[in-house]
Amino acid sequence: MKYKIIKPFALGGIFFYLLSALWAYLQIGFINESDSTIGYVTNFKYKYSRSINQGYYHYHRHRLMYYPIVTFTDKKDQKRIFTSSLGSSPSPYDIGQQVKVLYNDSTAKISDFRTLWSGIIFIAFMGTIFSAIGFYLPYFLAKHSENYRMNLLNNKRHKRKHKYKILRKNKRK
């Protein structure tokens, strides 16, 4: 059975997998080399999400996104403030809530699974989708095409007749 891969999707899937592996490698390096402390959510940065176009009726549906602003004190007793790069609606944090913070000289992040790994998981998922379309879909279509079914059916009939002849010869002996 011959089938051709869909090259743009296959290459896109490989690209997304490599991108997620690189991002995970950099994230693990950040986690291993950063210091940890406790910070407090002091405020939120508010942004509206983009509008949604639904069919004939175009209307703007804005969703308010909350990006927590976190204050913490580093090892040098300097007060540092950063805004999380991951926002959501509704916010998973409250003002005054304690959060674990990972930081180095240039970057600070809230240390939870969602903040650290959700982007990487999303990119890897996109790699899975593109790879499935690029590699598996042509195989699946070739396997389930009419010609394949007919060839398979003919081969099975041929094997049955052949097995029957072998069994008949063995019974004669």
Mean pLDDT by 10 residues, the chain (173 residues): 76 95 97 95 86 53 84 94 89 92 94 93 96 84 67 59 52 53
Among residues 41, 40, 44, 42, the alpha carbon closest in space to that of 90 is found at: 44
Q: Kindly compute the dihedral angle of the four CA atoms of residues 105, 110, 111, 116, in this order, to the nearest 10 degrees.
A: -90
Cα–Cα distance between 110 and 88 in angstroms, integer?
14
Among residues 32, 35, 29, 33, the alpha carbon closest in space to that of 77 is found at: 35
What pLDDT score does 25 carry?
A: 98
What pLDDT score does 92 carry?
A: 87
What pLDDT score does 49 carry?
A: 73
**DSSP annotation of 133:** I
What pLDDT score does 138 carry?
A: 78
What pLDDT score does 147 carry?
A: 66
